[in-house]
Amino acid sequence: MKLVLVDDDKLVSASLKTILSADPEVEVLAIGNSGKDAQELYFKHHPDILLMDIRMDGGNGLDAGKQILAKDPNANILYLSTFVDEDYIRTALAIGAKGYILKQDFDSILPSLRAVASGQKVFAGEIVEKIPTMSLEEIVPYQQFDLTDKEFELVQKVAEGLSNKEISGALYLSEGTVRNYLTIILEKLDLRDRTQLAVFYYKNQWDKL
């Protein structure tokens, strides 16, 4: 299990490395101390998991994670935080991170890494209990790209393979409007054409909720 660790407290990141490296399965490829580091190291080493602090001096972990996931939707990013902060958790989920665990939960870090490595999402028990107000299901990943609901509807139609004319019929819009929407959407997602949009849709598993 190849890891990259990022924490702006060098003591923490170093300790983590020491502790985690004790396990023969674990290999720490690199250590960083800022969001910027996270991006560089991620794309340099392509670790199985990027274990990262959220609150950091040099650019926060959430923005960095968002950018990494924009380029590589399959990146496994596991956040390690000191606090149970609802906004943080919400955002972490929204950008598609694989989990949010607490530094205090010392013993659970390694098992959590394993879980993520095997494709699970993992959240500290405290979180699930403490925040029943959050409906995890409702957190829609597309909000991360500032798509409106209507825009997302359009995306879905494109991802079904409909033409602009067909979409205009399905959504009761003029064909011209559909095109305008498309232009906006492609702009927001930094894509070139409807085919890339469909590809993006399935690669990011937007078809699964």
Provide the binding-site residues for a copy of itself, judged by CB under 8 A. Answer: 158-161, 163, 191-196, 198-200, 202-203, 207
Stretch that binds DNA, among 56-64, 78-86, 98-106, 175-183 (CB under 7 A): 175-183
Q: Which is nearer to DNA, 192 or 208 (CB)?
A: 192
Burial status of residue 52 (CB atoms within 10 A of its CB: 0-12, 13-18, 19 or more): buried
Q: Which is nearer to DNA, 12 or 171 (CB)?
A: 171
Q: By CB under 7 A, tell whether 87 contacts DNA.
A: no
Q: Which does 199 bind (CB under 5 to 8 A by kind): a copy of itself, DNA, none?
A: a copy of itself
Q: By CB under 7 A, tell whether 199 contacts DNA.
A: no
Q: Which does 200 bind (CB under 5 to 8 A by kind): DNA, a copy of itself, none?
A: a copy of itself
Report yes or no: 18 and 41 within 8 Å, Cβ to Cβ: no
Q: Note the helical H segments in 95-204.
A: 109-117, 125-130, 149-158, 164-171, 175-189, 194-203
- In degrees and rounded to multiples of 5, residue 151 shows phi and psi of -60, -40
Q: Which is nearer to a copy of itself, 118 or 135 (CB)?
A: 118
Distance CA 205, CA 27 (A): 29
Q: How far is CA 72 from CA 39, 66, 67, 117, 182, in A?
A: 11, 10, 9, 16, 23
Task: Please identify which residue in 108, 143, 156, 177 interacts with DNA, judged by CB under 7 A.
Answer: 177
Q: By CB under 7 A, tell whether 176 contacts DNA.
A: yes
- CB of 195 vs a copy of itself, minimal distance in Å: 5
Which positions from 104 through 143 interact with DNA, judged by CB under 7 A? Answer: none
- Enter the tokens of residue 80: 């390690």
Q: How far is CA 146 from CA 32, 94, 169, 199, in A?
A: 29, 11, 25, 19
Q: By CB under 7 A, tell whether 183 contacts DNA.
A: yes
**Cα 97 to chain center, whole Å?**
3
Which positions from 142 through 171 interact with DNA, judged by CB under 7 A? Answer: 148, 150, 163-165
**What residues line the site for DNA (CB under 7 A)?**
148, 150, 163-165, 172-174, 176-177, 179-180, 182-183, 186-187, 192-195
